[in-house]
Amino acid sequence: MESTDASTLATTVLARFGSAVQRAEHPFVLGISGLQGSGKSTLARGLIDVARERGWGAVSLSIDDVYLTRVEREALAVNLHPLLRTRGVPGTHDLALLASTLDALTKASPERPVRIPRFDKSRDDRYDAALWPAIGEPPKLVVLEGWCVGVEPATDPHKLSEPVNALERDEDADGRWRR
């Protein structure tokens, strides 16, 4: 997605949700879900820019920023399944960190700034928390983007019984990773 397209789409999205954002007593969390390379991060930047033009505090957070640490994923790989070593799939995110960050943003202040997690894909680990950006007041808008944002887990065991691709067929014959 090009920058001008993102800006136009961001303006349209905020035209649709703007009154809800303004009425919200707490930071309004707007989720963006889409495939890799579909423009989620570009749209998120556009939404932040447009929100700030409106005078709203705004912050963007990617589900990628709350991956479990490399050490935590290594432990999952040893204890549950080797495929959990690789980040990206459900089960490799620190949902408690995401929830606590979103909750803390409602109470952010100059005396108690909230650090926004950031992940360094080049190191396959989180940046040191001291390097995470700090937010000193509750934002009006939080944009949360990621490929699985809002996706519910499959609950029908029959849908998980057969592999859907070669990776599952070859690396997860017993279906443990899938489940």
Q: Which two tokens stand for residue 87?
A: 């980040």
List all residues 6 or more positions away from 136 whose beta carbon is below 8 Å from its beta carbon. Answer: 108, 109, 110, 113
Domains of the chain, earliest start first: 3-171 (3.40.50.300)
pTM assigned to the model: 0.87
DSSP state of 174: T
Half-sphere exposure at residue 44, Cβ-oriented, CA atoms within 13 angstroms: 22
Q: What is the pLDDT of residues 113-153, one digit of tens each?
A: 999 999 999 999 999 999 999 999 999 999 999 988 888 87
Strand partners, 43: none
Give 106-173 as a DSSP string.
Answer: TT--SSS-EEPP-EETTTTEEPPGGGS-EE-S--SEEEEEETTTTPPPP--GGGGSS-SSHHHHHH-T
pLDDT in tens, 5-45: 778 888 898 889 989 999 999 999 999 999 888 889 999 99
